[in-house]
């Protein structure tokens, strides 16, 4: 017989997959002797069976639950459904991975017309008992029976009177509450043709089913898709004795992090509300007090809480996110779980915990996710900018972002889809707003605290968020909000400062963050651990300097063509392209050469002692010419001017211009391509115009010997782009070696250098063995390799790609994370075949994927030597590379007997 139900004492943290995060936490805490209200957990496998079984409980699950329940009755001395001393239960969801606020919870279960009286007698507080009953009916009606929440609230406020604005909980008299309960029942019956059952066991049965069902509600599914969580794992259900934080002023409820989740400071951080249930804190309906205030108002409980927090950290070796309730002075732990944290906090907590001796360096590195680092690297508002602070709130999630104000999640999605950055402004957010939060650049709420829904979700997404901006008064129908006398309408620009907790008027500039010693420490550790080299894609001295500052171990890709677009260079470039013959072409090239020499010298200087991979000219020549249309319009324009020209000089000038433009137009037409991505570019240019290759190679080696003369250690690697046939490579390599020799001869200096190639076409990967017989290194150009392998233009596909990812056609944007099955297969192929022909072949990758953590893991596993990415992505790549090494070491340890 399957075991579907576990007492809290039977489980442990290790059973997270079976009991869910919450269930495992309660079990672990119970086992550790912490004060946890008794209860039991129905397993995730019961949930899976429920779905497999067409939404029927698995055999025996109900019976096992009843047995566990009677055990709880015994422990508490209370009886479920009894008119005197009734046992009340909470029924909560909890999957193996945290999905905060996504699924449903029912509290105060077990109350009915009879037991409410028993509770009143027991507590000597009829108002409390009826308020608990009201809460139960509201929740059950909404969550289990599906009554729209607004309908219920509107019904209640009609009784309270419109002015109370919903914040009505504890100061109303019993009779009003009884009326509300009755009104709720009427509304529920009217909306659902069902009533909240009197039978507590029926309540329990329905609540368990409702929690199972909430696994498949819209927002849960959305959340899992965004976070790549498997739909099939299911949720567990924890059934637990209710304790009441709303049983008077010596009661309360709170949530806390054992350290500051924004900054990582090792000080307990959280909020509490007296005389309240947990929902009041999470939903942000009442703004709670900082937890440190407890030291004064409930000093004993506060001390106890601090001790428990310490025990939990020691027990779990990580910062915890806890929920607790104080019932008439007694502290109950309701939940503990690994605390979500900002990037900054993640970095600091990891470093601190190593220093405290709690975790190892590897463990610390694993605790810092690439997403955390991205947050750390997030921009801040430029302090020198002329910014007007509109209002202040709580800094819920760091970063800074500007955008246009929108007031609904749907608008956020709609505006974002047409490319407009948006800031979602809400009174408070609910799980139904999730899609809008995804779409928004930042989130602002007028209510709620740093553990409100908006704050938790935004931090999880690494998205800038400011909550509790009390001054903001939103007028949804008018699509505006007021701060005092200042109106801000939908579409107006605001800038959100998640670090300072401010909202600024207008589109304010932001700047890169200053990185602290915790960051430096993590980067140093990661660098020590990782096997993959991390280089930078950089085309000039300043970019190379950023890369060095971030610890790049070389330049993996210098795109020489970027050097041609600047200033007067573009004119020489165009002269080169318009040249009627090789001699004129050579002259134009000669004028370009000094610039190239200077550029390469700058790079070599910054990269003293590190390799610099220089790619020869890659894009088709027409990219350097003006567009066909532009030129044609210019000709039309001159012709129109010619009509009105009055002097001969004017006419002569215009005629000359028309002639020049016509010549350019003809060359543009000759060079025009239908698919430039697949056109006359890369090494194909150098084969047809060897003089271009010659000039570039001469510049590279002239720069190299000059730097060498200045005492700089230069390690040039010449890279030939877009090779499909080894014969192409050979033709270009011959030029490189010949010209290098000429330069060495001229300067009487001989330098080591290597020649290699981009592997960016499927054919190159497929014939890598042939190519590796010639080439000394490979660098996978995964941008182009993705474009060709998938037949997908990066420029043109943006229009439909997001939709394809959203519809599950592809798991990820293949230009962000490498398509491991398709493109990745060619990377493995190319690497293996290349190494088969040349065992010491150096293999790297220099596409955008070099800075994507998932892809970095892939490249590590494929056995590459290095990744190269844009300078600002280097920390991410270094960390991802360290993670890959740690994962590999762990998997090795796992298979080596102890």
| Interaction site with a copy of itself (CB under 8 A) | 628-629, 632, 636, 673-680, 684, 687-688, 722, 724-725, 727-728, 731, 760-763, 766-767, 770, 784, 787-793, 795-797, 799-800, 803-804, 807-810, 819, 821-823, 825-826
Q: Which is nearer to a copy of itself, 382 or 770 (CB)?
A: 770
Q: Which is nearer to a copy of itself, 727 or 741 (CB)?
A: 727
Q: How far is the CB of 753 from a copy of itself (least distance, A)?
A: 24
Q: How far is the CB of 216 from a copy of itself (least distance, A)?
A: 21
> Which 8-state DSSP code applies to residue 78?
-
Q: Which is nearer to a copy of itself, 318 or 819 (CB)?
A: 819
Q: Which is nearer to a copy of itself, 747 or 804 (CB)?
A: 804
Q: How far is the CB of 672 from a copy of itself (least distance, A)?
A: 9
Q: Which is nearer to a copy of itself, 67 or 688 (CB)?
A: 688
Q: Which is nearer to a copy of itself, 594 or 811 (CB)?
A: 811
Q: Which is nearer to a copy of itself, 590 or 790 (CB)?
A: 790
Report the C-alpha gap between 212 and 94 in whole angstroms.
Answer: 10
Any catalytic annotation for residue 453? Answer: yes
Radius of gyration of the chain (CA): 33
> Per the residue annotation, which of 372, 453, 572, 860 is the catalytic one?
453
> What are the φ/ψ torsions at residue 404 (nearest 5 degrees)?
-90, 140
Q: How far is the CB of 637 from a copy of itself (least distance, A)?
A: 11
Contact 850, 874 (CB under 8 A): no
SS3 state of residue 240: strand
SS3 state of residue 790: helix
> Per the residue annotation, which of 846, 860, 869, 883 is the catalytic one?
846
Cα 281 to Cα 259, 323, 721, distances in angstroms: 19, 10, 59
Q: Which is nearer to a copy of itself, 54 or 807 (CB)?
A: 807
Token pair in block for residue 195: 């009533």
Q: Which is nearer to a copy of itself, 547 or 772 (CB)?
A: 772
Helix (H) or strand (E) holding 338: strand 330-338
Q: How far is the CB of 631 from a copy of itself (least distance, A)?
A: 11
Q: Which is nearer to a copy of itself, 638 or 684 (CB)?
A: 684
Contact 872, 377 (CB under 8 A): yes
Termini Cα distance of the chain = 35
Strands across the sheet with 422-426, in order? 388-392, 502-505, 493-497, 400-406, 422-426, 442-445, 464-467, 394-397
Report the C-alpha gap between 272 and 263 in whole angstroms.
Answer: 20
Any catalytic annotation for residue 469? Answer: no
Q: Tally DSSP H helices, then E strands, for the chain.
A: 34, 33
Taking residue 160's Cβ as centre, other Cβ atoms within 10 Å add up to 16
Q: Which is nearer to a copy of itself, 172 or 728 (CB)?
A: 728
Contact 327, 247 (CB under 8 A): yes
Strand pairing report for 235-241 and 502-505: unpaired
Q: How far is the CB of 674 from a copy of itself (least distance, A)?
A: 5
Q: How far is the CB of 235 from a copy of itself (least distance, A)?
A: 27
Could you give the residue ranges of the DSSP H alpha helices within 215-342? 218-226, 278-282, 294-297, 299-316
SS3 state of residue 392: strand
Query: What is the CA 847 to chain-centroid distance, rounded?
Result: 20
CA-nearest of 182, 217, 194 to 105 is: 217
Report the C-alpha gap between 126 and 118 in whole angstroms.
Answer: 10
Contact 112, 201 (CB under 8 A): no
Q: How far is the CB of 253 from a copy of itself (least distance, A)?
A: 46
Q: Is 199 left (phi over 0), alpha (psi -120 to 50) or beta?
A: beta
Q: Is 234 left (phi over 0), alpha (psi -120 to 50) or beta?
A: left
Residues 6+ apart with CB under 8 A from 836: 769, 772
Token pair in block for residue 685: 């240019």
Q: Which is nearer to a copy of itself, 323 or 784 (CB)?
A: 784
CA-nearest of 467, 469, 413, 468 to 441 is: 413
Report the C-alpha gap between 556 and 781 in whole angstroms.
Answer: 11
Token pair in block for residue 662: 């016509």
CA-nearest of 120, 241, 245, 244 to 178 is: 120
> What are the φ/ψ torsions at residue 26 (nearest 5 degrees)?
-60, -40
Letter string b/e over residues 775-790, b meaning 16 or more CB atoms within 10 A of that residue's CB: bbbbbbbbbbbbbbbb
Strand pairing report for 400-406 and 330-338: unpaired
Q: How far is the CB of 667 from a copy of itself (least distance, A)?
A: 13
The residues carrying an active-site annotation are: 453, 846
């Amino acid at each position: 017989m399957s075991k579907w139900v576990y007492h809290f004492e039977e489980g442990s943290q290790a059973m997270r997959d079976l009991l869910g995060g919450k269930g495992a936490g309660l079990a672990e805490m119970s086992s550790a002797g912490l004060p946890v209200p008794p209860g039991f957990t129905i397993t995730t496998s019961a949930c899976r069976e429920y779905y497999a079984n067409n939404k029927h409980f698995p055999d025996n699950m109900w019976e096992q639950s009843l047995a566990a329940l009677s055990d709880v009755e015994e422990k508490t001395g209370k009886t479920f459904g009894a008119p005197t001393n009734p046992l009340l239960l909470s029924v909560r969801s909890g999957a193996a991975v945290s999905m905060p606020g996504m699924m449903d919870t029912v509290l105060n279960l077990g109350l009915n017309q009879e037991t409410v009286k028993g509770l009143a007698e027991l507590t000597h507080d009829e108002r409390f008992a009826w308020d608990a009953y009201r809460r139960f009916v509201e929740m059950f009606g909404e969550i289990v029976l599906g009554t729209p929440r607004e309908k219920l609230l509107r019904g209640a406020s009609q009784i309270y009177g419109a002015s109370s604005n919903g914040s009505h909980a504890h100061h109303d008299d019993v009779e009003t509450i009884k009326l509300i309960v009755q009104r709720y029942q009427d509304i529920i019956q009217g909306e659902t043709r069902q009533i909240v059952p009197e039978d507590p066991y029926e309540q329990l049965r329905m609540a368990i089913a409702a929690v199972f069902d909430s696994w498949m509600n819209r927002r849960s599914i959305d959340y899992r898709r965004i976070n790549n969580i498997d739909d099939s794992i299911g949720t567990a259900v924890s059934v637990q004795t209710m304790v009441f934080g709303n049983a008077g002023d010596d009661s309360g409820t709170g949530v806390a992090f054992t350290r500051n989740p924004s900054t990582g400071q090792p000080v307990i951080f959280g909020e509490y509300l007296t005389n309240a249930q947990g929902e009041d804190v999470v939903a942000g309906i009442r703004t709670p007090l900082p937890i440190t205030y407890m030291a004064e108002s409930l000093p004993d409980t506060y001390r106890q809480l601090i001790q428990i927090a310490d025990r939990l950290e020691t027990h779990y070796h990580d910062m915890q996110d806890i929920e607790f309730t104080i019932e008439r002075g007694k502290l109950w732990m309701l939940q503990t779980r690994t605390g979500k944290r900002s990037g900054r906090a993640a970095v600091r907590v990891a470093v601190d915990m190593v220093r405290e001796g709690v975790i190892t360096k590897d463990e610390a590195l694993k605790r810092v996710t690439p997403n955390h680092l991205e947050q750390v690297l997030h921009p801040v508002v430029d302090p020198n900018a002329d910014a007007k602070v509109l209002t202040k709130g709580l800094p819920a999630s760091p970063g800074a972002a500007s955008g246009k104000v929108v007031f609904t999640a749907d608008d956020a999605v709609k505006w974002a889809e047409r490319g407009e950055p948006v800031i979602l402004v809400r009174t408070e957010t609910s799980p139904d707003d999730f899609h809008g939060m995804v779409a928004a650049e930042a989130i602002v709420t007028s209510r709620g605290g740093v553990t409100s829904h908006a704050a938790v979700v935004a931090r999880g997404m690494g998205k800038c968020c400011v909550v509790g901006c009390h001054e903001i008064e939103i007028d949804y129908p008018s699509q505006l909000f007021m701060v005092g006398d200042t109106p801000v309408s939908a579409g107006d620009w605001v800038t959100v400062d998640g670090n300072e907790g401010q909202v600024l008027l207008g589109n304010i500039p932001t700047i890169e963050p200053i990185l602290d010693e915790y960051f430096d420490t993590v980067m140093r550790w990661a660098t020590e651990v990782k096997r993959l080299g991390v280089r930078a894609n950089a085309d000039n001295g300043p970019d190379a300097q950023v890369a060095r500052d971030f610890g790049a171990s070389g330049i993996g890709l210098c795109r020489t063509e970027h050097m041609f677009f600047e200033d007067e260079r573009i004119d020489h470039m165009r002269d080169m392209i318009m040249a009627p013959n090789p001699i004129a072409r050579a002259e134009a090239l000669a004028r370009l050469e000094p610039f190239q020499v200077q550029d390469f010298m700058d790079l070599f200087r910054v990269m003293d002692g590190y390799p610099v991979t220089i790619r020869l000219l890659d894009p088709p020549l027409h990219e350097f010419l003006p567009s066909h249309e532009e030129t044609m319009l210019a000709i039309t324009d001159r012709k129109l001017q010619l009509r009105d020209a009055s002097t001969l000089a004017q006419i002569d000038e215009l005629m000359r211009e028309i002639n020049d433009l016509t010549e350019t137009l003809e060359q543009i037409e000759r060079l025009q391509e239908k698919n430039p991505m697949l056109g006359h570019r890369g090494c194909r240019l150098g084969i047809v115009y060897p003089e271009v290759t010659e000039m570039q190679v001469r510049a590279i080696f002239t720069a190299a010997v000059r730097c060498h003369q200045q005492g700089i250690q230069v390690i040039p690697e010449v890279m030939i782009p877009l090779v499909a046939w080894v014969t192409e490579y050979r033709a270009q390599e011959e030029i490189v070696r010949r010209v290098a020799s000429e330069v060495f001869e001229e300067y009487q200096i001989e330098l080591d250098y290597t020649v290699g190639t981009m592997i960016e076409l499927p054919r190159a990967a497929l014939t890598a063995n042939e190519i590796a017989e010639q080439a000394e290194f490979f660098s996978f150009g995964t941008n182009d390799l993705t474009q060709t392998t998938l037949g997908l233009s990066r420029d043109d596909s943006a229009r439909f790609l997001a939709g394809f990812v959203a519809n599950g056609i592809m798991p990820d944007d293949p230009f962000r994370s490498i398509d491991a099955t398709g493109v990745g297969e060619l990377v493995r192929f190319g690497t293996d075949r290349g190494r088969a022909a040349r065992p010491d072949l150096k293999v790297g990758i220099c596409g955008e994927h070099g800075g994507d953590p998932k892809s970095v893991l892939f490249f590590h596993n494929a056995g590459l030597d290095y990744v190269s990415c844009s300078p600002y992505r280097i920390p991410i790549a270094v960390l991802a590379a360290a993670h890959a090494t740690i994962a590999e070491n762990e998997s090795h340890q796992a298979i080596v007997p102890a």
